[in-house]
Amino acid sequence: MNNFVKYIILTLLIVAGAKAYSQPPASFRNSKGNFSPYKKIETARENYIDRQLDLSDDESAKFWPLYRQYSQEINSVRKLKRQNMLNNRSKDQIDKDLLYDQQLVDIKRKYTQEFSKILPQAKVNLVFRSESEFRDELIKIYRERGTPD
């Protein structure tokens, strides 16, 4: 009986240790402490764009806060659009989709002007092209491996 209890306790310790070891690193947690699966993708996107643009230190210091603001605005409109698609099945759906699409275009126009104030026009064009190329690469990775590592 005594060996059986030791065996159970040892098994529980091993399972608890394995569970603790399998937790994602703190860098992939959001501000609430929850796992954020998009953190790794966002970091990879920024690294990809940074390599493509080859920003100077001055450009980088001005560009990245503005780019993160742009990205946040784009993502919030996309989230609203997805929620609308799930919640609304009315005949006004097409009009609402067009409204969200127009908001996305307006945001891109606004930030094209803002990026032009701190970057040469060739690099501004590269920002949006790099986003598209990164998205294509990400889709390719998902198709080949299922998920990015």
Classify the C-alpha dihedral 84-82-35-47 as positive or negative: negative
Contact 70, 109 (CB under 8 A): no
Report the pLDDT value the prediction gives residue 133, as an integer from 0 to 100.
Answer: 93
Looking at this protein, which amino acid is placed at residue 110? K
The tens digit of pLDDT for each residue in 104-114 reads: 999 999 999 99
Please indicate, yes or no, whether residues 62 and 3 belong to a single structural domain of this protein.
Answer: no
Q: Where are the beta strands (DSSP E) in 37-138?
A: none
Report the pLDDT value the prediction gives residue 93, as an integer from 0 to 100.
Answer: 80
What pTM value is reported for the model? 0.68
Q: How much helix, strand and coil, in percent to the nearest 5, is found in the chain?
A: 80, 0, 15
Please indicate, yes or no, whether residues 17 and 45 belong to a single structural domain of this protein.
Answer: no
| Better-scored residue on pLDDT, 33 or 125 | 125
| Better-scored residue on pLDDT, 17 or 128 | 128
Contact 134, 56 (CB under 8 A): no
Please indicate, yes or no, whether residues 50 and 122 belong to a single structural domain of this protein.
Answer: yes
Domain that holds residue 69: 38-145
Please indicate, yes or no, whether residues 25 and 98 belong to a single structural domain of this protein.
Answer: no
Contact 39, 30 (CB under 8 A): yes
Please indicate, yes or no, whether residues 27 and 56 belong to a single structural domain of this protein.
Answer: no
Please indicate, yes or no, whether residues 100 and 57 belong to a single structural domain of this protein.
Answer: yes
Please indicate, yes or no, whether residues 50 and 26 belong to a single structural domain of this protein.
Answer: no
Please indicate, yes or no, whether residues 88 and 112 belong to a single structural domain of this protein.
Answer: yes
pLDDT at 77 over 60: yes
pLDDT at 22 over 60: no
Total domain count, the chain: 2
Please indicate, yes or no, whether residues 47 and 116 belong to a single structural domain of this protein.
Answer: yes
pLDDT at 67 over 60: yes
Please indicate, yes or no, whether residues 60 and 49 belong to a single structural domain of this protein.
Answer: yes
The total of other beta-carbon atoms located within 10 Å of residue 42's CB is 13
Taking the CA atoms of residue 74, residue 108, residue 137 and residue 46 in that order, the dihedral angle to the nearest 10 degrees is -70
Length of the chain equals 149
- 37 phi and psi angles, rounded to 5 deg: -70, -15
Please indicate, yes or no, whether residues 91 and 123 belong to a single structural domain of this protein.
Answer: yes
